[in-house]
Amino acid sequence: MSTEHFVRAPYGRRCGKKVTFPRGVISVTDVALPLLIAIPIVAAVLPLTAGLYRDAVGWPIAAVTTTALVPLAGLLGQTVLSEGRIRYALGGWTPPQGIELVADELSVAVVLMVAVISLAVLAFTRTQGPRRNSFYSGYLLLTGGLMGMALTGDLFNLFVFLEIVGLTTYALVAADRSGASAYASLKYLIVGTVGASLYLVGVGYVFIATGTLNMLDLQEAMAAVGYGDPLLQTGYAFIAAGFALKIAIFPVHSWQPDAYQRAPDGVTMYIAALVSTTAAYALLRVTYTVFTVEFLQANEAITTALLIVAAISIVIGSGLSVIQSDLKRMFAYSSVAQFGMIVAAVALANRTALLGGIVHLVGHGIMKVGLFLAIGLLATGYGVRTVGDLASLARSAPFTAGGFAVLGLALVGIPPSVGFVGKWYIALGAVEGGATGIAVVVIVSTLLTLAYVARIIEKLYFAGGSAGTEPLLDDDTGETPAAVAADGAGVGTGSGDGATPVTADSSVSPAAPVTDAPFIPLVPDRVPAAGLLVLVVTAAVVVGLGFGGLTFETLFEPFFARVFPWVWAWAYLRSRPQLRPQRYPTLRHSGRRSSS
């Protein structure tokens, strides 16, 4: 008996060539793709089942499952980087009739991010919850759905995983069972359902035009139909609109601030880092792997519309962040702006901008899990939720405040950080593509991001003032403490006219730790130790990735060679000029394939 499947092949050869192996010869790497999806989805049943016999088994099951995903994702990544794209046909049914899973350099980056962040978030939920077994069933199901979105090679199968992600996220947002979180979840459910429906309608148009749903098969089918076909244009419009709702691009972003603010801290960390990020990845994947860059070049109206929407989202999202006082809402609106940059990178349709979009996609996910982790840690240890509550908190929580500040500056794009690398390539790609306005918008957004991050840093480190400053106003009376004392309120060291005013230096003190705040030996921060460790590591990773500009180019070069084959050919011929006159006399570096 033999097993037929798609196997890995070195880049440059025919990836996906069907071969026959004797039973038992398939390696772990060959089945890593289905295992990364199947393991968390199957394990999602265990917390509910085991919960019938024993309480509090959800976290250990989730921890074991996500821990197993990390080395499996690492093995897949190593294989893809060394040998090229992997294609796996489910059930032996080869595409386009069957469903296949595909791992390349881009999808592996998302898979690794999902695996690592899923494990990191569990370090926080271990002590801060939610603790119900049902929560961890949803958590694992969401993880499996995200893995499926990253690895699927079929448009309809992508819809299935998109719905798994959506339904589980709606439930997790309302995990604390409060009225506010239930309202936020309902709002998210309505908007998310509309988004998924629009995507499905778009897929229907594409299927009518081409007769296939396999992503790689669609490339050839669309070229045969013609990129100006109205069905394809309409299909892409619906797909992009559906993803805009899922990503939370202005003006269809209204679900995101409520969902982020009202969800439990552990849930906010997870969905802010991965859910919208994976939806943005799906938009990038469908645009460049299914519709291809030729479609964007043939439909300038579509790319112009995407750029306009992205630019508005960048500016409005950054502006709304500046006026927020609640920390979670502030960074929720920040995501609206950051994902606007990624959409702009997709629409620019050139290699430099796309590299920036991919780097910013990964970097944003890492930065947001760290930022919301810092917010959760400070809320756990000190009960702070707003910018005003942060006053002088760096004195009593220096490590948490330091990690918070580093991640905030990375979000601004201060070098060296991954935030700088992503924004730099997007702005540079905009200039190269003649869209200077997008570069200007990125710079304006960076300045606005600096404005609200600077507010946080100022509160953390410089809110104490100095002796001899003007007395603060009393919150209840609106008068200075000395005036209140003169009226007989008894504020100060004496009574009546002899009361001593309280200056800004002595009145502004760090928030006191909450009752039963965690304690770490030799560390002043009253926050959970595991969460603090993850925060410090995340801040270090964000800075370390800032030195990887050239490394990113090397890692994603095979992906770009498939997406922009004429650019790769032009670079190849430029390095070998003796070949060009004889074989490719008309090849030009024009951004389009040569007619020859």
| pLDDT tens digits for range 548-587 | 777 888 888 889 888 887 654 444 445 445 444 444 344 3
Residue 219's pLDDT is 87
Residues 6+ apart with CB under 8 A from 377: 124, 400, 525, 527, 528, 531, 532, 535
Residue 38's pLDDT is 92
406: pLDDT strictly greater than 60: yes
Q: What is the mean pLDDT of residues 369-378?
A: 94
Residue 134's pLDDT is 87
Buried b (16+ CB within 10 A) or exposed e, 462-484: ebbbeeeeeebebeeeeebbbbb
pLDDT tens digits, residue range 97-117?
Answer: 778 888 999 999 999 999 999
Q: What is the mean pLDDT of residues 49-53?
A: 82
382: pLDDT strictly greater than 60: yes
Contact 302, 237 (CB under 8 A): yes
Q: Would you give the end-to-end CA distance of the chain in angstroms?
A: 47
182's tokens:
């239930």
Q: What is the mean pLDDT of residues 149-165?
A: 93
Higher pLDDT pick, 366 / 16 = 366
pLDDT category at 1 given cuts 50, 70, 90 is very low
Kindly report whether the peptide bond that precedes residue 416 is cis, defined as omega within 30 degrees of 0.
yes
Which range, 45-54, 129-138, 283-292, has the best average confidence (pLDDT)? 283-292
Q: How far apart are CA 354 and CA 567, in angstroms?
A: 13
**Cα→Cα distances 512→269, 338, 393, 460, 557, Å:** 24, 34, 9, 14, 51
pLDDT category at 519 given cuts 50, 70, 90 is confident
User: Of the ranges 187-191, 409-413, 420-424, 514-518, which one carries the lowest mean pLDDT score?
Assistant: 514-518
Instruction: Give the DSSP letter string of 23-73.
Output: TT---TTTTHHHHHHHHHHHHTHHHHHHTTT-SS-HHHHHHHHHHHHHHHH
pLDDT tens digits, residue range 237-292?
Answer: 999 999 999 999 988 888 889 999 999 999 999 999 999 999 999 999 999 999 98
Q: What is the mean pLDDT of residues 506-524?
A: 74
Going by C-alpha positions, the residue among 347, 293, 286, 39 that lies closest to residue 152 is 286
Instruction: Measure CA 375 to chain center.
Output: 17
Residue 464's pLDDT is 60
Buried b (16+ CB within 10 A) or exposed e, 130-155: bbbbebbbbbbbbbbbbbbbbbbbbb
Q: How far apart are CA 267 and CA 261, in angstroms?
A: 10
Instruction: Find tokens 């410089």 and name the residue.
Output: 462
Angle (CA) 348 352 357, round 5°:
70
Q: Name the percent of the chain lying above pLDDT 90.
A: 52
Q: How far apart are CA 441 and CA 453, in angstroms?
A: 18
